[in-house]
Structure 1
Amino acid sequence: MRQQPFYPLTVEYSTSCGHIIEPQVTVRDLGVYVSNERSWTPHIKKTVQGARQMAAWALSAFRDRSTIVMPTLYKSLVRPKLEYCSPVWNPHKISDIQKIENVQRSFTKKIIGCTELTYWDLSLQRRRERYSFVHVWKILQDLAPNDLQFDFSTHQRLGIKASIPTINRKAQLAVRTDYDKTFRVHAAQLFNMLPCEIRSIKTLDAFKSGLGVFLEQYPDTPPVTGVTGINNNSLLSWKQERMHLS
């Protein structure tokens, strides 16, 4: 479609010094790439690229493939790149989840004695959701800033619960879908899954311990290339699966 002569005026800005700020498809802010299409795929693509480069360097610099050296290299050099600020960009598209999980799968296959192990013993997807649980709990306990304005309510029977923000249902379907996948909504839904006795825990170590026991109740089968799972492996999906079976 042909643009009107005044179209650039609606998307370009001038600073007080006369510099022109032009529109960009993606913008890097504190290490996170934000897309003008409300998609985290560009950020995930760059994240996976950086992690693969680091993995390649580690594998070329160290010949030892033992279960002591390799996990240490992975946890200290590769995994941090895949998890930096992950609660913000936690993906929900199967293709994006696969890209991240495939980095870890490729690395763990090179560890001596681990080539034939079931891959889902180590899920980055489940770790990201665990971060969400912990961060919401920290907000509740005033241990983290409540920048997203989480609200909590206490019920006599249900205990402490995070409120789920609503959105105008007349909004476009794509907008509603993206909104439902944001941290503010998704993390609140995850937190409310916890039994009330875990949500009410007051110390971090005790909360993490209770959370670990809770997570063990759910399968962890992240989407990987060539494998078709029952669902997208989110804890919310497993909850729906159980409700359907019951």
Structure 2
Amino acid sequence: MDRKNFIYKVGDEIIEEKEALKDLGVWMSSDCNFKEHIALTAKFGRRMSGWLLRTFKTRAPEHLLPLWKTLVVSKMEYACQLWSPHRINEIQELEQVQRVFVRRIDRDSNNYWERLKNLQLYSLQRRRERYIIIYAWKILEGTVPNPSPGDFRAQHHPRFGRTCARKAVSSCSQRIKTIQAESFFGAGPRLFNCLPRDIRDLKGVSTEAFKRRLDKFLTSLPDEPPIPHGPTSRGAASNSIIDQLQYLKCEQRCGSGGSPDWPW
């Protein structure tokens, strides 16, 4: 039977079907793509960054960046482990908010990627992936609840160290497989497992200690997010930590660059 023919009730009250519904601060789409939430998040970021620039005359990074991170970025990243986008246009829509803001406080460069370096900022895409990694590590450490203990789990190998395992989805449509692959349960293990072994094997340390070690590693990777009409000379297939790391490893193996200080 077609799902549209089903009627759901609580007692005698019919539950109305909606395309999107807000639950604990996140707009859940009926097709699991979070497009409403991403659009509203970008709209909020544009509005708040505009308010900051109108309210404060200073353009000094040491004054505006703490306000940006506290009042804008913290709200734009709420529950991003759940809804972090994988579509290029949605990544660009969110990244454009920060791009416009930093353009007003760093006029030494016309390149967004260079401005991120000058201001020692992560792109919003890199920040979301960082939070996914941290949450995956917390699950493996048992400091936060595991939504799927039978599937999302640690596995240990004498050669490769600790990795994060996730049961693969089978016997379903390609659309469902894509949703699963791009969800936290797909992206979390992929991002965690691409890290150097010394980070993956960190156990029994504080979250702050793990973050410091992770940040030391992430600052060694290029951060080149996709932006509309922006630079396109990225060597890696995408700005994802996975692709940037793979590209740098390939460069090292081919002897065409890289650094002797890479931590892998």
Interval of TM-score (by shorter of Structure 1 and Structure 2): 0.7 to 0.9
**Aligned twin of 2:165:** 163
Query: Does 131-140 or 112-121 show the bigger shift?
Result: 112-121
The equivalent position to 1:37 in structure 2, one of 11, 31, 34, is 31
Q: Which residue, out of 66, 70, 80, partners 1:72?
A: 66
Q: 5+ residue gaps in structure 2?
A: 254-264
Identify which range, 136-145 or 211-220, moves more after superposition.
211-220
- 2:201 equivalent in structure 1: 200
Answer whether contact 2:153 2:164 (CA < 8 A) is retained.
yes
Residue 49 of structure 1, CA deviation: 0.8
Whole-angstrom distance in 1 between the partners of 2:105 and 2:210: 32
User: How many residue pairs get matched?
Assistant: 239
Q: Answer yes or no: is 1:181 the counterpart of 2:175.
A: no
Post-superposition offset of 1:68: 2.4
2:222 is the counterpart of 1:216: no
- The AA in structure 1 aligned to 2:141 is Q
Equivalents in 1 of 2:17, 2:96: separation in Å? Answer: 33
**DSSP-derived class of the 2:21 partner:** strand
Unaligned runs of 5+ in 1: none
Alignment of 1:1-246 (within 5 A): 9-10=5-6, 12-16=7-11, 18-111=12-105, 113=107, 116=110, 118-121=114-117, 122=121, 123-149=123-149, 150-168=152-170, 170-201=171-202, 202-203=204-205, 204-227=207-230, 228=232, 229=234, 230-242=236-248, 246=253
Contact 1:108 / 1:114 at 8 angstroms: preserved in 2? no
Partner SS state of residue 134, structure 1: helix
The answer (yes or no) to whether the contact 2:161–2:201 under 8 Å persists in 1 is yes
Deviation for aligned residue 1:125: 0.7
- CA separation of 1:8 and 1:221: change in aligned 2, threshold 3 A: closer
- Normalising by structure 2, we get a TM-score of 0.82
Counterparts of 1:8 and 1:173, CA distance in 2? 21
Does the 8 Å CA contact 2:41/2:76 hold for their aligned counterparts?
Answer: yes
Relative to structure 1, the CA distance from residue 114 to residue 91 in structure 2 (aligned partners, 3 Å threshold; closer, same or farther) is farther
Distance 1:90 1:8, change over 3 A: closer
- 1 CA distance for matches of 2:134 and 2:4? 44
Q: TM-score, normalised by structure 1?
A: 0.88
**Distance across 2 between alignment mates of 1:112 and 1:120:** 9
Indicate the SS of the match to 1:68.
Answer: helix
CA-based RMSD: 2.3
* Amino acid across the alignment from 1:194: L
Whole-angstrom CA distance in 2 between matches of 1:108 and 1:115: 10
